Structure 1
Protein backbone atom coordinates (compact mmCIF):
# COMPACT_ATOMS: atom_id res chain seq x y z
CA UNK A 1 0.00 0.00 0.00
CA UNK A 2 1.33 3.44 -0.88
CA UNK A 3 1.83 5.83 2.02
CA UNK A 4 1.74 9.59 2.16
CA UNK A 5 5.53 9.53 2.36
CA UNK A 6 5.62 8.01 -1.15
CA UNK A 7 3.18 10.45 -2.68
CA UNK A 8 5.69 11.73 -5.24
CA UNK A 9 5.83 8.25 -6.76
CA UNK A 10 2.09 8.52 -7.36
CA UNK A 11 1.42 12.14 -8.33
CA UNK A 12 3.10 15.02 -10.13
CA UNK A 13 2.26 18.64 -10.74
CA UNK A 14 4.20 21.37 -12.48
CA UNK A 15 3.45 24.85 -13.73
CA UNK A 16 5.21 26.05 -16.86
CA UNK A 17 5.38 29.84 -16.73
CA UNK A 18 5.83 31.91 -19.91
CA UNK A 19 9.35 31.77 -21.33
CA UNK A 20 11.23 33.15 -24.31
CA UNK A 21 11.60 29.76 -25.99
CA UNK A 22 9.26 26.86 -26.65
CA UNK A 23 9.43 23.86 -24.33
CA UNK A 24 8.75 20.17 -25.00
CA UNK A 25 7.61 17.61 -22.44
CA UNK A 26 7.80 13.86 -23.00
CA UNK A 27 5.76 12.94 -19.99
CA UNK A 28 4.64 9.29 -20.23
CA UNK A 29 7.89 7.50 -19.54
CA UNK A 30 9.74 6.06 -16.55
CA UNK A 31 7.89 6.67 -13.30
CA UNK A 32 4.95 8.30 -15.11
CA UNK A 33 4.23 5.64 -17.74
CA UNK A 34 1.03 4.42 -16.03
CA UNK A 35 -0.19 7.88 -14.98
CA UNK A 36 -3.33 9.63 -16.12
CA UNK A 37 -2.39 13.20 -17.07
CA UNK A 38 -4.25 16.47 -17.40
CA UNK A 39 -2.66 19.26 -19.42
CA UNK A 40 -4.11 22.75 -18.95
CA UNK A 41 -3.03 25.44 -21.39
CA UNK A 42 -4.06 28.69 -19.68
CA UNK A 43 -3.08 30.96 -22.56
CA UNK A 44 -0.86 30.90 -25.61
CA UNK A 45 -0.31 28.02 -28.03
CA UNK A 46 0.62 24.39 -27.56
CA UNK A 47 0.74 21.17 -29.53
CA UNK A 48 0.30 17.46 -28.86
CA UNK A 49 2.66 15.24 -30.90
CA UNK A 50 1.55 11.59 -30.97
CA UNK A 51 3.74 8.57 -31.66
CA UNK A 52 1.91 7.88 -34.95
CA UNK A 53 3.06 11.32 -36.22
CA UNK A 54 -0.37 12.87 -35.74
CA UNK A 55 -0.45 16.24 -34.00
CA UNK A 56 -3.10 18.52 -32.53
CA UNK A 57 -2.63 22.24 -32.08
CA UNK A 58 -4.13 23.78 -28.96
CA UNK A 59 -4.95 27.41 -28.27
CA UNK A 60 -5.45 28.50 -24.67
CA UNK A 61 -7.52 28.26 -22.70
CA UNK A 62 -7.83 24.54 -23.48
CA UNK A 63 -7.39 21.23 -21.70
CA UNK A 64 -6.37 17.66 -22.56
CA UNK A 65 -7.18 14.60 -20.46
CA UNK A 66 -4.71 11.87 -21.41
CA UNK A 67 -5.06 8.22 -20.40
CA UNK A 68 -1.95 6.05 -19.84
CA UNK A 69 -2.15 4.43 -23.27
CA UNK A 70 -1.84 7.80 -25.05
CA UNK A 71 1.78 8.28 -26.09
CA UNK A 72 2.71 11.82 -27.01
CA UNK A 73 4.90 14.83 -26.41
CA UNK A 74 3.64 18.29 -25.56
CA UNK A 75 5.12 21.45 -27.02
CA UNK A 76 4.44 24.72 -25.18
CA UNK A 77 5.06 27.78 -27.33
CA UNK A 78 7.09 30.77 -26.19
CA UNK A 79 4.98 33.11 -24.08
CA UNK A 80 2.42 30.43 -23.18
CA UNK A 81 1.45 29.38 -19.66
CA UNK A 82 0.50 25.79 -18.92
CA UNK A 83 0.27 23.17 -16.20
CA UNK A 84 0.70 19.41 -16.29
CA UNK A 85 -0.57 17.17 -13.50
CA UNK A 86 -0.60 13.40 -13.28
CA UNK A 87 -1.72 10.62 -10.98
CA UNK A 88 -1.03 6.91 -10.64
CA UNK A 89 -3.78 4.25 -10.87
CA UNK A 90 -3.85 4.08 -7.05
CA UNK A 91 -4.57 7.80 -6.73
CA UNK A 92 -7.22 7.55 -9.43
CA UNK A 93 -8.99 4.68 -7.65
CA UNK A 94 -9.17 6.77 -4.47
CA UNK A 95 -10.24 9.88 -6.37
CA UNK A 96 -13.03 8.15 -8.29
CA UNK A 97 -14.29 6.28 -5.22
CA UNK A 98 -17.61 4.48 -5.13
CA UNK A 99 -20.17 7.27 -5.27
CA UNK A 100 -23.06 7.75 -7.68
CA UNK A 101 -20.90 9.52 -10.30
CA UNK A 102 -18.03 7.01 -10.05
CA UNK A 103 -19.22 4.79 -12.89
CA UNK A 104 -19.34 7.75 -15.29
CA UNK A 105 -15.88 8.93 -14.23
CA UNK A 106 -14.35 5.46 -14.68
CA UNK A 107 -15.54 5.34 -18.26
CA UNK A 108 -14.65 8.99 -18.89
CA UNK A 109 -10.95 8.71 -18.00
CA UNK A 110 -10.24 5.68 -20.18
CA UNK A 111 -9.95 7.70 -23.40
CA UNK A 112 -8.30 10.96 -24.42
CA UNK A 113 -10.55 14.00 -24.09
CA UNK A 114 -9.84 17.47 -25.48
CA UNK A 115 -11.64 20.65 -24.46
CA UNK A 116 -10.35 22.86 -27.23
CA UNK A 117 -12.37 25.93 -26.34
CA UNK A 118 -12.76 26.36 -22.59
CA UNK A 119 -15.23 28.97 -21.44
CA UNK A 120 -14.39 31.42 -18.66
CA UNK A 121 -16.62 29.66 -16.14
CA UNK A 122 -14.99 26.26 -16.64
CA UNK A 123 -11.50 27.77 -16.53
CA UNK A 124 -12.39 29.65 -13.36
CA UNK A 125 -13.53 26.41 -11.72
CA UNK A 126 -10.71 24.13 -12.88
CA UNK A 127 -7.71 26.47 -12.60
CA UNK A 128 -7.72 26.89 -8.78
CA UNK A 129 -8.25 23.14 -8.28
CA UNK A 130 -5.20 22.33 -10.40
CA UNK A 131 -3.25 25.06 -8.59
CA UNK A 132 -4.17 23.48 -5.27
CA UNK A 133 -3.06 20.05 -6.49
CA UNK A 134 0.32 21.47 -7.54
CA UNK A 135 0.78 23.42 -4.30
CA UNK A 136 0.06 20.35 -2.19
CA UNK A 137 2.84 18.42 -3.95
CA UNK A 138 5.28 21.35 -3.81
CA UNK A 139 5.89 20.96 -0.06
CA UNK A 140 7.26 17.46 0.69
CA UNK A 141 6.84 18.03 4.42
CA UNK A 142 3.06 18.29 4.18
CA UNK A 143 2.07 16.59 0.91
CA UNK A 144 -0.89 14.36 1.76
CA UNK A 145 -2.31 11.42 -0.19
CA UNK A 146 -5.79 12.28 1.06
CA UNK A 147 -5.58 15.90 -0.05
CA UNK A 148 -4.10 15.02 -3.46
CA UNK A 149 -6.80 12.42 -4.16
CA UNK A 150 -9.50 14.86 -3.00
CA UNK A 151 -8.22 17.53 -5.40
CA UNK A 152 -8.11 14.96 -8.20
CA UNK A 153 -11.73 13.99 -7.55
CA UNK A 154 -12.81 17.63 -7.81
CA UNK A 155 -10.70 18.15 -10.93
CA UNK A 156 -12.16 15.09 -12.66
CA UNK A 157 -15.71 16.16 -11.87
CA UNK A 158 -15.03 19.68 -13.16
CA UNK A 159 -13.42 18.38 -16.38
CA UNK A 160 -16.26 15.87 -16.91
CA UNK A 161 -18.83 18.65 -16.61
CA UNK A 162 -16.84 21.09 -18.75
CA UNK A 163 -16.57 18.49 -21.52
CA UNK A 164 -20.33 18.04 -21.56
CA UNK A 165 -20.06 14.49 -20.24
CA UNK A 166 -23.30 14.61 -18.27
CA UNK A 167 -25.27 16.03 -21.21
CA UNK A 168 -23.75 13.50 -23.63
CA UNK A 169 -24.79 10.65 -21.34
CA UNK A 170 -28.36 11.88 -21.23
CA UNK A 171 -28.54 12.38 -25.02
CA UNK A 172 -27.09 8.95 -25.77
CA UNK A 173 -29.54 6.98 -23.65
CA UNK A 174 -32.89 5.56 -24.60
CA UNK A 175 -35.19 4.57 -21.80
CA UNK A 176 -33.52 1.20 -21.27
CA UNK A 177 -30.03 2.72 -21.44
CA UNK A 178 -31.00 5.35 -18.91
CA UNK A 179 -32.33 2.73 -16.50
CA UNK A 180 -29.13 0.69 -16.86
CA UNK A 181 -26.88 3.68 -16.20
CA UNK A 182 -28.97 4.68 -13.19
CA UNK A 183 -28.79 1.10 -11.92
CA UNK A 184 -24.99 1.17 -12.20
CA UNK A 185 -24.91 4.47 -10.36
CA UNK A 186 -27.09 3.08 -7.57
CA UNK A 187 -24.81 0.07 -7.31
CA UNK A 188 -21.87 2.43 -6.76
CA UNK A 189 -23.73 4.05 -3.89
CA UNK A 190 -25.30 0.91 -2.36
CA UNK A 191 -23.16 -2.14 -3.13
CA UNK A 192 -21.76 -2.35 0.41
CA UNK A 193 -25.27 -2.36 1.89
CA UNK A 194 -26.23 -5.74 0.38
CA UNK A 195 -29.70 -4.56 -0.53
CA UNK A 196 -32.03 -6.87 -2.47
CA UNK A 197 -32.51 -6.18 -6.18
CA UNK A 198 -36.12 -5.26 -5.45
CA UNK A 199 -34.86 -2.13 -3.63
CA UNK A 200 -33.01 -1.05 -6.77
CA UNK A 201 -36.09 -1.66 -8.92
CA UNK A 202 -38.27 0.41 -6.60
CA UNK A 203 -35.78 3.28 -6.64
CA UNK A 204 -35.64 3.12 -10.45
CA UNK A 205 -39.42 3.00 -10.77
CA UNK A 206 -39.48 -0.31 -12.66
CA UNK A 207 -40.41 -3.89 -11.84
CA UNK A 208 -37.71 -6.38 -10.88
CA UNK A 209 -38.51 -8.35 -14.06
CA UNK A 210 -38.00 -5.27 -16.25
CA UNK A 211 -34.64 -4.51 -14.63
CA UNK A 212 -33.67 -8.16 -15.12
CA UNK A 213 -34.65 -8.01 -18.80
CA UNK A 214 -32.71 -4.78 -19.45
CA UNK A 215 -29.51 -6.10 -17.85
CA UNK A 216 -29.72 -9.46 -19.62
CA UNK A 217 -30.49 -7.95 -23.02
CA UNK A 218 -27.79 -5.26 -22.83
CA UNK A 219 -24.97 -6.97 -20.96
CA UNK A 220 -25.91 -10.65 -20.84
CA UNK A 221 -25.86 -10.64 -17.06
CA UNK A 222 -28.50 -10.37 -14.38
CA UNK A 223 -28.70 -7.43 -11.96
CA UNK A 224 -27.42 -9.62 -9.11
CA UNK A 225 -24.46 -10.77 -11.23
CA UNK A 226 -23.54 -7.16 -11.95
CA UNK A 227 -23.89 -6.28 -8.28
CA UNK A 228 -21.69 -9.20 -7.24
CA UNK A 229 -19.08 -8.29 -9.88
CA UNK A 230 -18.83 -4.79 -8.44
CA UNK A 231 -18.48 -6.16 -4.92
CA UNK A 232 -15.76 -8.60 -6.01
CA UNK A 233 -13.90 -5.84 -7.86
CA UNK A 234 -13.87 -3.67 -4.75
CA UNK A 235 -12.71 -6.60 -2.61
CA UNK A 236 -9.86 -7.23 -5.06
CA UNK A 237 -8.80 -3.59 -4.99
CA UNK A 238 -8.72 -3.55 -1.19
CA UNK A 239 -6.81 -6.82 -0.99
CA UNK A 240 -4.27 -5.52 -3.53
CA UNK A 241 -3.86 -1.97 -2.31
CA UNK A 242 -4.49 -1.82 1.41
CA UNK A 243 -2.82 -3.32 4.48
CA UNK A 244 -6.14 -4.11 6.18
CA UNK A 245 -6.66 -7.66 7.41
CA UNK A 246 -9.40 -9.90 5.99
CA UNK A 247 -11.88 -9.16 8.78
CA UNK A 248 -11.46 -5.39 8.33
CA UNK A 249 -12.02 -5.69 4.58
CA UNK A 250 -15.03 -7.94 5.17
CA UNK A 251 -16.52 -5.41 7.60
CA UNK A 252 -15.85 -2.47 5.28
CA UNK A 253 -17.74 -4.24 2.48
CA UNK A 254 -20.78 -4.95 4.63
CA UNK A 255 -20.43 -8.72 5.09
CA UNK A 256 -21.91 -10.16 8.25
CA UNK A 257 -18.72 -12.10 9.07
CA UNK A 258 -15.32 -12.78 7.45
CA UNK A 259 -16.10 -16.47 6.90
CA UNK A 260 -19.07 -15.59 4.70
CA UNK A 261 -16.92 -13.03 2.86
CA UNK A 262 -14.20 -15.64 2.24
CA UNK A 263 -16.71 -18.16 0.88
CA UNK A 264 -18.30 -15.50 -1.36
CA UNK A 265 -14.93 -14.31 -2.69
CA UNK A 266 -13.63 -17.84 -3.38
CA UNK A 267 -16.88 -18.81 -5.13
CA UNK A 268 -16.52 -15.82 -7.46
CA UNK A 269 -12.76 -15.88 -8.09
CA UNK A 270 -11.55 -19.39 -7.33
CA UNK A 271 -9.16 -18.03 -4.69
CA UNK A 272 -9.54 -17.27 -1.01
CA UNK A 273 -8.93 -13.63 -0.03
CA UNK A 274 -5.59 -14.58 1.54
CA UNK A 275 -4.50 -16.49 -1.58
CA UNK A 276 -5.56 -13.64 -3.82
CA UNK A 277 -3.54 -11.16 -1.77
CA UNK A 278 -0.49 -13.44 -2.01
CA UNK A 279 -0.87 -13.61 -5.81
CA UNK A 280 -1.22 -9.81 -5.96
CA UNK A 281 1.92 -9.26 -3.89
CA UNK A 282 3.90 -11.77 -5.96
CA UNK A 283 2.69 -10.20 -9.20
CA UNK A 284 3.40 -6.55 -8.29
CA UNK A 285 4.44 -4.68 -11.41
CA UNK A 286 3.49 -7.51 -13.78
CA UNK A 287 0.57 -7.85 -16.19
CA UNK A 288 -1.48 -10.49 -14.38
CA UNK A 289 -5.02 -10.86 -15.71
CA UNK A 290 -6.19 -12.24 -12.35
CA UNK A 291 -5.75 -8.79 -10.80
CA UNK A 292 -8.33 -6.04 -10.83
CA UNK A 293 -6.50 -2.89 -11.77
CA UNK A 294 -8.60 -1.69 -14.74
CA UNK A 295 -11.09 1.06 -13.84
CA UNK A 296 -13.55 -0.01 -16.51
CA UNK A 297 -13.67 -3.65 -15.46
CA UNK A 298 -17.18 -3.28 -14.09
CA UNK A 299 -18.91 -4.18 -16.23
Structure 2
Protein backbone atom coordinates (compact mmCIF):
# COMPACT_ATOMS: atom_id res chain seq x y z
CA UNK A 1 0.00 0.00 0.00
CA UNK A 2 1.18 3.52 -0.73
CA UNK A 3 -0.23 6.90 0.25
CA UNK A 4 1.21 10.11 -1.16
CA UNK A 5 1.71 12.87 0.90
CA UNK A 6 -3.81 29.52 0.53
CA UNK A 7 -5.43 32.20 0.99
CA UNK A 8 -8.82 32.04 -0.69
CA UNK A 9 -7.55 34.02 -3.67
CA UNK A 10 -4.47 31.85 -4.10
CA UNK A 11 -6.45 28.66 -3.74
CA UNK A 12 -8.95 29.79 -6.36
CA UNK A 13 -6.12 30.73 -8.71
CA UNK A 14 -4.58 27.30 -8.43
CA UNK A 15 -7.85 25.42 -8.70
CA UNK A 16 -8.88 27.32 -11.82
CA UNK A 17 -5.92 25.84 -13.69
CA UNK A 18 -7.04 22.24 -13.03
CA UNK A 19 -10.07 20.90 -14.98
CA UNK A 20 -12.97 19.80 -12.77
CA UNK A 21 -15.07 16.87 -14.01
CA UNK A 22 -17.60 14.48 -12.55
CA UNK A 23 -16.56 12.02 -15.26
CA UNK A 24 -13.40 12.64 -17.29
CA UNK A 25 -14.00 15.32 -19.96
CA UNK A 26 -17.63 15.70 -18.89
CA UNK A 27 -18.19 19.11 -17.30
CA UNK A 28 -18.61 19.30 -13.54
CA UNK A 29 -22.15 19.92 -12.40
CA UNK A 30 -23.90 20.23 -9.07
CA UNK A 31 -23.38 16.92 -7.30
CA UNK A 32 -26.35 14.57 -7.32
CA UNK A 33 -26.52 12.91 -3.87
CA UNK A 34 -27.48 9.58 -5.46
CA UNK A 35 -24.85 9.67 -8.20
CA UNK A 36 -22.89 6.48 -8.89
CA UNK A 37 -21.28 5.41 -12.15
CA UNK A 38 -19.20 2.36 -13.06
CA UNK A 39 -17.66 1.44 -16.40
CA UNK A 40 -14.81 -0.69 -17.77
CA UNK A 41 -11.53 1.22 -18.00
CA UNK A 42 -11.22 0.86 -21.82
CA UNK A 43 -14.56 2.62 -22.43
CA UNK A 44 -13.20 6.07 -21.60
CA UNK A 45 -9.42 5.62 -21.54
CA UNK A 46 -9.28 3.77 -24.85
CA UNK A 47 -10.79 6.66 -26.78
CA UNK A 48 -8.33 9.09 -25.16
CA UNK A 49 -5.26 7.13 -26.26
CA UNK A 50 -5.05 5.55 -22.79
CA UNK A 51 -4.07 8.91 -21.26
CA UNK A 52 -6.19 10.70 -18.66
CA UNK A 53 -4.76 14.19 -18.25
CA UNK A 54 -4.47 16.12 -15.00
CA UNK A 55 -7.87 16.87 -13.46
CA UNK A 56 -9.88 16.57 -10.27
CA UNK A 57 -13.40 15.60 -9.18
CA UNK A 58 -14.82 18.20 -6.76
CA UNK A 59 -17.58 16.07 -5.26
CA UNK A 60 -16.88 12.46 -6.19
CA UNK A 61 -14.56 9.68 -5.08
CA UNK A 62 -13.14 7.24 -7.62
CA UNK A 63 -12.12 3.62 -7.09
CA UNK A 64 -10.25 1.68 -9.78
CA UNK A 65 -9.52 -2.02 -10.06
CA UNK A 66 -6.94 -3.01 -12.67
CA UNK A 67 -7.11 -6.61 -13.88
CA UNK A 68 -4.85 -6.41 -16.95
CA UNK A 69 -2.15 -4.05 -18.21
CA UNK A 70 -1.39 -1.29 -15.70
CA UNK A 71 0.44 1.98 -16.06
CA UNK A 72 1.41 5.08 -14.10
CA UNK A 73 -0.92 7.14 -11.92
CA UNK A 74 0.18 10.58 -10.74
CA UNK A 75 -1.51 11.59 -7.49
CA UNK A 76 -0.78 15.06 -6.11
CA UNK A 77 2.61 15.07 -7.86
CA UNK A 78 3.59 11.56 -6.74
CA UNK A 79 3.87 8.87 -9.44
CA UNK A 80 2.58 5.35 -8.73
CA UNK A 81 3.35 2.38 -10.95
CA UNK A 82 0.50 -0.11 -10.94
CA UNK A 83 0.39 -3.69 -12.20
CA UNK A 84 -2.54 -6.11 -11.94
CA UNK A 85 -4.22 -6.90 -9.76
CA UNK A 86 -4.34 -3.43 -8.25
CA UNK A 87 -6.89 -1.35 -6.37
CA UNK A 88 -6.61 2.46 -6.37
CA UNK A 89 -8.65 4.97 -4.36
CA UNK A 90 -8.76 8.61 -5.50
CA UNK A 91 -10.79 10.82 -3.13
CA UNK A 92 -12.70 13.92 -4.21
CA UNK A 93 -10.55 17.02 -4.86
CA UNK A 94 -7.42 14.91 -5.44
CA UNK A 95 -5.40 16.18 -8.42
CA UNK A 96 -4.48 13.19 -10.56
CA UNK A 97 -3.55 11.96 -14.03
CA UNK A 98 -3.26 8.44 -15.46
CA UNK A 99 -1.24 6.95 -18.30
CA UNK A 100 -2.50 3.40 -18.89
CA UNK A 101 -0.67 0.80 -20.93
CA UNK A 102 -2.63 0.11 -24.14
CA UNK A 103 -5.06 -2.74 -23.60
CA UNK A 104 -5.42 -2.17 -19.86
CA UNK A 105 -8.62 -3.60 -18.42
CA UNK A 106 -10.56 -3.29 -15.20
CA UNK A 107 -13.25 -0.99 -13.84
CA UNK A 108 -13.61 2.51 -12.42
CA UNK A 109 -16.31 3.53 -9.96
CA UNK A 110 -17.26 7.20 -9.54
CA UNK A 111 -19.47 7.84 -6.53
CA UNK A 112 -20.85 10.96 -4.85
CA UNK A 113 -19.91 11.25 -1.18
CA UNK A 114 -23.56 11.52 0.01
CA UNK A 115 -24.42 8.27 -1.75
CA UNK A 116 -21.33 6.54 -0.32
CA UNK A 117 -22.18 7.73 3.19
CA UNK A 118 -25.76 6.52 2.80
CA UNK A 119 -24.69 3.14 1.40
CA UNK A 120 -22.27 2.66 4.30
CA UNK A 121 -24.81 3.79 6.91
CA UNK A 122 -22.48 6.67 7.90
CA UNK A 123 -20.03 4.15 9.37
CA UNK A 124 -16.93 6.30 10.01
CA UNK A 125 -14.64 3.25 10.02
CA UNK A 126 -15.68 2.34 6.48
CA UNK A 127 -15.99 5.87 5.06
CA UNK A 128 -12.53 6.80 6.33
CA UNK A 129 -10.99 4.25 3.95
CA UNK A 130 -11.99 6.45 1.00
CA UNK A 131 -10.70 9.77 2.34
CA UNK A 132 -7.01 9.42 1.44
CA UNK A 133 -5.37 8.42 -1.89
CA UNK A 134 -4.13 4.83 -1.63
CA UNK A 135 -3.14 1.92 -3.86
CA UNK A 136 -3.02 -1.78 -3.09
CA UNK A 137 -0.96 -4.11 -5.26
CA UNK A 138 -1.05 -7.87 -5.82
CA UNK A 139 1.06 -8.75 -2.77
CA UNK A 140 -1.39 -6.92 -0.50
CA UNK A 141 -4.58 -8.06 -2.19
CA UNK A 142 -3.70 -11.76 -2.16
CA UNK A 143 -5.64 -14.58 -3.77
CA UNK A 144 -8.65 -14.66 -1.46
CA UNK A 145 -10.23 -11.39 -2.63
CA UNK A 146 -12.05 -11.44 -5.97
CA UNK A 147 -12.05 -7.68 -6.51
CA UNK A 148 -12.60 -7.93 -10.25
CA UNK A 149 -15.62 -10.15 -9.69
CA UNK A 150 -16.97 -7.68 -7.13
CA UNK A 151 -16.66 -4.77 -9.57
CA UNK A 152 -18.18 -6.86 -12.38
CA UNK A 153 -21.17 -7.72 -10.19
CA UNK A 154 -21.64 -4.06 -9.30
CA UNK A 155 -21.52 -3.09 -12.98
CA UNK A 156 -24.08 -5.80 -13.77
CA UNK A 157 -26.50 -4.22 -11.29
CA UNK A 158 -25.69 -0.74 -12.60
CA UNK A 159 -26.54 -1.40 -16.26
CA UNK A 160 -29.87 -3.21 -15.88
CA UNK A 161 -33.23 -2.46 -14.32
CA UNK A 162 -34.40 -5.09 -11.88
CA UNK A 163 -36.26 -5.21 -8.57
CA UNK A 164 -34.16 -4.02 -5.59
CA UNK A 165 -31.36 -2.86 -7.91
CA UNK A 166 -30.42 0.03 -5.60
CA UNK A 167 -30.26 -2.29 -2.60
CA UNK A 168 -27.93 -4.63 -4.49
CA UNK A 169 -25.65 -1.74 -5.51
CA UNK A 170 -25.42 -0.58 -1.90
CA UNK A 171 -24.62 -4.13 -0.78
CA UNK A 172 -21.73 -4.36 -3.24
CA UNK A 173 -20.43 -0.95 -2.13
CA UNK A 174 -20.55 -2.15 1.47
CA UNK A 175 -18.57 -5.26 0.54
CA UNK A 176 -16.01 -3.09 -1.29
CA UNK A 177 -15.69 -0.80 1.74
CA UNK A 178 -15.18 -3.75 4.07
CA UNK A 179 -12.50 -5.09 1.72
CA UNK A 180 -10.70 -1.72 1.73
CA UNK A 181 -10.93 -1.55 5.51
CA UNK A 182 -9.41 -5.01 5.90
CA UNK A 183 -6.63 -4.23 3.44
CA UNK A 184 -5.80 -1.09 5.40
CA UNK A 185 -5.74 -3.02 8.66
CA UNK A 186 -3.35 -5.60 7.21
CA UNK A 187 -0.89 -2.77 6.55
CA UNK A 188 -1.02 -1.27 10.02
CA UNK A 189 0.82 -2.75 12.98
CA UNK A 190 -1.36 -1.03 15.54
CA UNK A 191 -4.55 -1.59 17.56
CA UNK A 192 -7.76 -1.46 15.57
CA UNK A 193 -9.40 1.89 16.25
CA UNK A 194 -12.97 2.12 17.42
CA UNK A 195 -15.71 3.88 15.49
CA UNK A 196 -15.56 6.77 17.98
CA UNK A 197 -11.80 7.22 17.43
CA UNK A 198 -12.23 7.11 13.66
CA UNK A 199 -15.01 9.69 13.90
CA UNK A 200 -12.82 11.97 16.02
CA UNK A 201 -10.09 11.82 13.38
CA UNK A 202 -12.60 12.43 10.60
CA UNK A 203 -13.81 15.62 12.32
CA UNK A 204 -10.21 16.62 13.06
CA UNK A 205 -9.38 16.36 9.36
CA UNK A 206 -12.41 18.50 8.54
CA UNK A 207 -11.17 21.16 10.98
CA UNK A 208 -7.65 20.96 9.56
CA UNK A 209 -9.08 21.50 6.07
CA UNK A 210 -10.75 24.71 7.25
CA UNK A 211 -7.96 26.13 9.41
CA UNK A 212 -4.55 24.72 8.40
CA UNK A 213 -3.45 28.04 6.85
CA UNK A 214 -4.00 29.77 10.20
CA UNK A 215 -1.75 27.34 12.16
CA UNK A 216 -3.88 26.95 15.30
CA UNK A 217 -2.28 24.92 18.08
CA UNK A 218 -3.18 21.30 18.74
CA UNK A 219 -4.87 22.44 21.95
CA UNK A 220 -7.21 24.65 19.91
CA UNK A 221 -8.14 21.74 17.63
CA UNK A 222 -8.63 19.45 20.63
CA UNK A 223 -10.94 21.92 22.42
CA UNK A 224 -13.10 22.23 19.30
CA UNK A 225 -13.42 18.43 19.29
CA UNK A 226 -14.09 18.17 23.02
CA UNK A 227 -10.99 16.07 23.79
CA UNK A 228 -7.52 16.67 25.15
CA UNK A 229 -4.56 17.15 22.83
CA UNK A 230 -3.09 13.87 24.10
CA UNK A 231 -6.34 12.02 23.36
CA UNK A 232 -6.52 13.55 19.88
CA UNK A 233 -2.97 12.44 19.19
CA UNK A 234 -3.76 8.89 20.37
CA UNK A 235 -6.85 8.73 18.13
CA UNK A 236 -4.80 9.87 15.13
CA UNK A 237 -2.08 7.31 15.76
CA UNK A 238 -4.54 4.45 16.19
CA UNK A 239 -6.61 5.37 13.13
CA UNK A 240 -3.94 6.55 10.67
CA UNK A 241 -0.60 5.48 12.14
CA UNK A 242 0.44 9.16 12.25
CA UNK A 243 0.46 11.84 14.93
CA UNK A 244 -2.00 14.73 14.84
CA UNK A 245 0.86 17.12 14.01
CA UNK A 246 1.95 14.88 11.13
CA UNK A 247 -1.56 15.02 9.64
CA UNK A 248 -1.51 18.83 9.77
CA UNK A 249 1.94 18.89 8.19
CA UNK A 250 0.77 16.48 5.47
CA UNK A 251 -2.03 18.87 4.56
CA UNK A 252 0.33 21.86 4.42
CA UNK A 253 2.80 19.92 2.29
CA UNK A 254 0.09 18.71 -0.08
CA UNK A 255 -1.08 22.29 -0.69
CA UNK A 256 2.50 23.50 -1.07
CA UNK A 257 3.20 20.81 -3.67
CA UNK A 258 -0.02 21.61 -5.53
CA UNK A 259 0.99 25.25 -5.82
CA UNK A 260 4.54 24.40 -6.84
CA UNK A 261 3.21 22.07 -9.53
CA UNK A 262 0.17 23.88 -10.86
CA UNK A 263 0.56 27.61 -10.20
CA UNK A 264 2.91 30.43 -11.20
CA UNK A 265 3.23 31.63 -7.61
CA UNK A 266 6.75 32.21 -6.31
CA UNK A 267 8.03 30.15 -3.40
CA UNK A 268 7.66 33.16 -1.10
CA UNK A 269 4.07 33.71 -2.28
CA UNK A 270 3.24 30.06 -1.65
CA UNK A 271 4.69 30.26 1.84
CA UNK A 272 2.71 33.41 2.60
CA UNK A 273 -0.50 31.82 1.26
CA UNK A 274 0.06 28.93 3.67
CA UNK A 275 0.46 31.26 6.64
CA UNK A 276 4.27 31.50 6.81
CA UNK A 277 5.20 35.16 7.28
CA UNK A 278 8.90 34.25 7.22
CA UNK A 279 9.94 32.71 3.85
CA UNK A 280 12.98 31.09 5.46
CA UNK A 281 10.77 29.22 7.92
CA UNK A 282 8.60 27.87 5.10
CA UNK A 283 11.72 26.75 3.21
CA UNK A 284 13.04 24.93 6.28
CA UNK A 285 9.67 23.27 6.92
CA UNK A 286 9.38 22.05 3.34
CA UNK A 287 13.01 20.92 3.06
CA UNK A 288 12.88 19.04 6.37
CA UNK A 289 9.82 17.05 5.33
CA UNK A 290 10.44 16.56 1.61
CA UNK A 291 14.23 16.40 1.45
CA UNK A 292 14.37 19.14 -1.19
CA UNK A 293 13.90 22.89 -1.07
CA UNK A 294 10.65 24.15 -2.64
CA UNK A 295 12.55 25.60 -5.58
CA UNK A 296 14.49 22.41 -6.21
CA UNK A 297 11.30 20.33 -5.89
CA UNK A 298 9.64 22.44 -8.61
CA UNK A 299 12.72 22.31 -10.87
CA UNK A 300 13.03 18.54 -10.59
CA UNK A 301 9.36 17.93 -11.39
CA UNK A 302 9.41 20.19 -14.44
CA UNK A 303 12.63 18.53 -15.58
CA UNK A 304 11.00 15.09 -15.22
CA UNK A 305 7.94 16.28 -17.19
CA UNK A 306 10.15 17.61 -19.99
CA UNK A 307 12.01 14.32 -20.26
CA UNK A 308 8.73 12.35 -20.27
CA UNK A 309 7.28 14.55 -23.02
CA UNK A 310 10.39 14.07 -25.16
CA UNK A 311 10.43 10.28 -24.75
Instruction: Provide TM-score, normalisation by structure 2.
Output: 0.47
Larger Rg computed on CA atoms: 1
